[in-house]
Amino acid sequence: MKNLKFEYKLSLLYLLIGGIWIIFSDKMLSSMSNDIDFLTKTQMYKGWFYVVVTTILFFLFVRNHLTKLRDTELELEHHKNHLEQMIHEKTIDLASKNEELFRKNEIINQKNSELQNTLIQLQDTQSHLFQSEKMASLGVLTAGVAHELNNPLNYIMGAYIGLYRHYEDKTFSEYDEEVGILIDALKVGVERSVSIVDGLNQFTRNSQSYNEECNLHEILNNSLNILQHQLSSNVVINKQYFDSKLIIKGNVGNLHQVFVNILNNSIQAISNHGTITIKTSLDYTDVCIEITDTGEGIKAENLEKVADPFFTTKEPGKGTGLGLAITYNIIKKHNGILEFQSEYGKGTIVRIKFPI
């Protein structure tokens, strides 16, 4: 009964009341009288009574149903109004949060822009720092290079004087062997001068590309040529190069700066007699360069700080503390690795690895 719709309930109720009333009223009247006039009048009253009763019952039934419908409508209206209010509040809250998010996004964009500008400034500063350190190194090397150039120039001048004397005396044919020696001396002097100048040119080149072909053996030899004036007879250079050329992609000028810095430190670490061994090798994925000196070494407490900016154990005026810091950054830009191994009083090993 509960599952029936309202119209079915109403129809069933009407049939039930009507059927019960007809059966009950007819039996009651038949038992009371057999008078036809009385029964006719009573039937009329019985009909009106049925109409009145069913009207009252239908009214109550319909009113009860409609009351429930109206209550349901009121409740739905209330929920609707409440839902609209909630939607309105949520919309306002969402708009507020969107506005706050927009402001925060603007702040983040502004900070990102500031960070980008700061990064550009840092990169410019680092570039200037690299160049400044290179110029400082050049300043230290200039006097030595000038002295170093005097030797091949003396070869050239001596050969020129000897050849000029033979030219004046017209004795070239009489002294063939001596003339040959003078020409060889002239050739050695020119080649030595070209080698020194070429090394300086490679060191001072200012390319920004990291896609140049870098012949590591040539760069090491050029670096030694630049530092030749600092190599006394007490320092022996032992080259243990790999059998074939070792070429990587990188920046030629910056790699010169790396090896000049490291070799210069090795030379300065040797106070009396000593050896600097340069060994290059190739494994499956890396080119390895190992520079070993028999100098004074690095104290254990300083070993982790040697590549820190402005850290130096040299006397004031003899070191900026930037050489190895810049060396570390250059190697890092080449996706390389820089390692130090040292024992104070015995020497230092510097290992560099570059990916092939």
Gap between the Cα atoms of 326 and 265, Å rounded: 14
Helix (H, G, I), strand (E, B) or coil at 334: coil
Gap between the Cα atoms of 318 and 299, Å rounded: 19
- Secondary structure of 95-151 as H, E, C letters: HHHHHHHHHHHHHHHHHHHHHHHHHHHHHHHHHHHHHHHHHHHHHHHHHHHHHHHHH
**Phi-psi label, residue 345: left if phi above 0, alpha if psi -120 to 50, beta otherwise:** left
Gap between the Cα atoms of 37 and 21, Å rounded: 21
pLDDT at 290: 96
Q: Whose CA is closest to 293, among 307, 316, 314, 272?
A: 272
Using an 8 Å Cβ cutoff, are 312 and 321 in contact?
yes
Count CB-CB contacts under 10 A for residue 253.
Answer: 22
Tokens of 275: 């050896």
pLDDT at 149: 64
Rounded to 10 degrees, the C-alpha dihedral 179/162/195/271 comes to 120
List the chain pLDDT tens, one digit each, 356 residues.
556 666 666 667 767 776 676 666 666 666 666 666 666 666 666 667 766 777 777 777 778 877 888 888 888 888 888 888 888 888 888 888 888 899 889 899 888 888 888 887 777 666 656 555 555 555 555 555 555 666 666 667 776 677 767 666 666 666 667 767 767 767 766 766 666 666 666 555 666 788 889 999 999 998 888 787 777 778 999 999 999 999 999 988 889 889 988 998 899 888 888 999 999 999 888 999 999 999 988 888 887 877 776 666 665 455 555 678 888 888 998 999 999 999 888 999 999 999 98
pLDDT at 153: 67
Gap between the Cα atoms of 170 and 174, Å rounded: 9
pTM for the model stands at: 0.52
Residues shown for the chain: 356
Count CB-CB contacts under 10 A for residue 77.
Answer: 10
Gap between the Cα atoms of 299 and 119, Å rounded: 35
pLDDT at 141: 57
pLDDT at 286: 93
Burial class (CB in 10 A: 0-12, 13-18, 19+), 354: buried
pLDDT at 69: 83
pLDDT at 201: 61
Count CB-CB contacts under 10 A for residue 330.
Answer: 22
pLDDT at 289: 95
Gap between the Cα atoms of 355 and 287, Å rounded: 6
